[in-house]
């Protein structure tokens, strides 16, 4: 989920110390060994592309898995990598599942867009009419502001800090609906005026998902399954037991086993499990102009600069060669990234069990952007 905030950095340090993962002699960093490169060249992935991927991840810990989907001019191909015994080799892992973290937010925004396309909701409407209680200080929010991170809400609710410390390896586990309601009615406050700036908020998208559940009378799994079914994602889910046999185990910052995260009341911000094969189906659907709801999610709703904007869920990157729609994700045991270029019918998807706290951060992004540039 893009956790750059100070609190989670501190929480991660506590986790490393408590679990004995921090190497004090090396400044708290894990030892890194450069992998022997035994990746194979394929008909669809060139030597240059594979070498680029290798150079980015050659120092990751053993037991690291990376699943790649590349869509070039509408044609999908897959590539998988695993590091074991200090050697990077190829593997077929397009059907394996990973936590996708904050890429979940794109699906939550797609849920909203489906209702908008059907004429049932308006993105400019406030959410207050769909919940059963007034918010603290009579605050209200538009659906659009929650989906594009301009609500002014903080990244996380203030009453989550102590809850997270009760289970630092699974920080959302105990943050239930009761805690969320307590925050919404007693503690909610803004960091900026709604609609004036982009400030990334897991809370905001989690609140949007909570509202859609109240509006529909369905839980988040039931809602998102409707989207999965429409766009050909047959096995994706928020219920871990359904895909446990195909789930790649998460790894922590030092490369040891990591607990999966249970997102509880903020499930709409980061609770989905998916494979690159199924995310590729979602990317292909973005190329079909008949999918009105997907077009709505990619329509710019806020401009950050001449080169960057935000849609509903997607970040919009305006390049000289075209427009990319991007989102990433990260949890305690996984990192992910997806980039889609509907005009050129290109896309890259990266799923990995590289912790969001692994140093250097952003390896999934580096992999996706490096590979996407080869398709320009």
Helix (H) or strand (E) holding 83: strand 75-84
For 49, the token pair is 């592309």
Check pLDDT > 50 for residue 22: no
Lowest mean pLDDT among 10-19, 126-135, 314-323, 356-365: 10-19
Query: Residue 66 to residues 53, 196, 358: CA-CA distances in angstroms?
Result: 10, 38, 14
Residue 32: per-residue pLDDT = 82
Check pLDDT > 50 for residue 281: yes
Residue 1: per-residue pLDDT = 47
Q: Mean of the pLDDT values across residues 142-149?
A: 98
Helix (H) or strand (E) holding 211: helix 202-216
172-194 pLDDT, tens digit each: 999 999 999 999 999 999 999 99
Distance (Å, whole) CA 357 – CA 362: 9
191-241 pLDDT, tens digit each: 999 999 999 999 999 999 999 999 999 999 999 999 999 999 999 999 999
Mean pLDDT of the chain: 93
Residue 9: per-residue pLDDT = 53
Distance (Å, whole) CA 51 – CA 40: 10
Pick the CATH number of 6-373 from 3.40.710.10, 2.40.70.10, 3.40.50.1000, 3.40.50.300: 3.40.710.10
Quote the pTM value: 0.94
Check pLDDT > 90 for residue 106: yes
Residue 31: per-residue pLDDT = 60
325-349 pLDDT, tens digit each: 999 999 999 999 999 999 999 999 9
Residue 132: per-residue pLDDT = 86
Residue 49: per-residue pLDDT = 97
Query: Residue 15 to residues 164, 165, 258: CA-CA distances in angstroms?
Result: 11, 9, 11
Distance (Å, whole) CA 297 – CA 147: 9
């Amino acid at each position: 989920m893009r956790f750059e905030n100070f609190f989670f950095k501190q929480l991660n340090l506590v986790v490393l110390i408590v679990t004995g993962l921090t190497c004090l002699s090396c400044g708290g960093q894990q030892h890194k060994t450069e992998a022997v490169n035994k990746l194979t060249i394929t008909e669809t992935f060139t030597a240059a592309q594979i070498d680029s991927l290798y150079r980015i991840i050659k120092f990751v810990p053993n037991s690291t898995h990376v699943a790649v989907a590349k869509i070039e001019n509408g044609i999908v191909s897959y590539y998988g990598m695993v590091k074991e015994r200090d050697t990077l080799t190829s593997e077929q892992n397009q059907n394996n599942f990973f936590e996708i973290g904050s890429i979940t937010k794109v699906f939550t925004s797609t849920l909203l867009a489906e209702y908008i396309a059907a004429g049932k909701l308006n993105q400019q409407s406030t959410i207050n009419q769909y919940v059963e209680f007034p918010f603290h200080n009579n605050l209200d929010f538009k659906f659009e502001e929650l989906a594009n991170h301009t609500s002014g809400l903080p990244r996380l609710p203030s009453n989550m800090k102590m809850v997270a410390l009760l289970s630092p390896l699974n920080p959302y586990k105990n943050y239930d609906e009761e805690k969320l309601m307590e925050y919404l009615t007693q503690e909610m406050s803004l960091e900026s005026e709604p609609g004036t700036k982009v400030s990334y908020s897991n809370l905001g998208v989690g609140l949007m998902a909570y509202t859609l559940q109240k509006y529909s009378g369905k839980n988040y799994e039931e809602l998102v399954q409707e989207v999965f079914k429409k766009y050909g994602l047959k096995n994706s889910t928020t219920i871990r037991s359904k895909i446990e046999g195909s789930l790649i185990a998460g790894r922590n910052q030092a490369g040891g086993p990591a607990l999966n995260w249970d997102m509880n009341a903020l499930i709409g911000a980061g609770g989905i499990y998916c494979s690159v094969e199924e995310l590729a189906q979602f990317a292909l659907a973005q190329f079909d102009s008949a999918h009105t709801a997907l077009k709505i999610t990619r329509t710019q709703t806020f401009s950050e600069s001449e080169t960057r904007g935000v849609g509903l869920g997607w970040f919009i990157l305006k390049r000289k060669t075209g427009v990319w729609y991007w989102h990433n994700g990260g949890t305690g045991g996984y990192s992910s990234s997806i980039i889609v270029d509907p005009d050129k019918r290109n896309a890259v998807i990266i799923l990995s069990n590289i912790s969001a706290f692994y140093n250097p951060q952003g390896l999934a992004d580096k992999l996706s952007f490096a590979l996407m540039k080869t398709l320009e």
